Amino acid sequence: MFLLIVRIFEYPFFSFPSSDILQPYLPITIINPETNVKYRWDALIDTGADSCLFNKTICELTDHEFNGAKVKTFVCQGISSEPIITFVHTFQIELRHPENSVKEPVWQSEIIEIECGDYDKLPILLGTTDFLKHFKITLDYPNNKTIIEIKHEREDA
């Protein structure tokens, strides 16, 4: 017999010092699975993005060779319909606990391929097919918070 467990976490919206706009960011840890180098970052939930998009800085901080000879390239279309050349790298993503970033992560991805663009002025994006699809997400704009429900089955002993 299996038991369905639902855990609910609330993450406050926040803004960066350069902006007064509160936005739905999530605290994540980005891991290079080849070297186990980890880096903490805050990433923007983007329900309009098919997949996650990381920047060059994330690649460098996690010891990936951004546009090395063996790195796959991909051309995606940005919001302005302009083609963007990206470089594909493998990562794991951990969703950190909203109240204490020292606690164990509340969720961890499998090893996934993520496109990385040569930009650093925009936030890293959490897209639907490789991150957001794993959760029920409520963006509660009146209360400036993101509510994430994580479901998993556990065998009842």
pLDDT averaged per 10 residues, the chain (length 157): 89 88 96 96 94 94 90 80 88 94 88 92 92 97 97 77
Instruction: Using the Cα atoms of residue 84, residue 108, residue 96 and residue 129 in order, give the sign of their dihedral.
Output: positive
What integer pLDDT is reported at residue 101 of this predicted model? 67
CA dihedral 122, 63, 131, 104 (to 10 degrees): -110
Given this model, what pLDDT does residue 29 score? 96
Residue 13 confidence (pLDDT): 97
Domain regions of the chain by residue span: 24-155
Close Cβ partners of 34 (under 8 Å, ≥ 6 residues apart): 90
Instruction: Return the pLDDT at 79.
Output: 66
The model's pTM is 0.89
* DSSP structure class, residue 130: T
Residue 10: beta bridge partners? 147
What is residue 151's three-state secondary structure?
strand
Residues in the chain: 157
Domain 24-155 fold is Cathepsin D, subunit A; domain 1 (2.40.70)
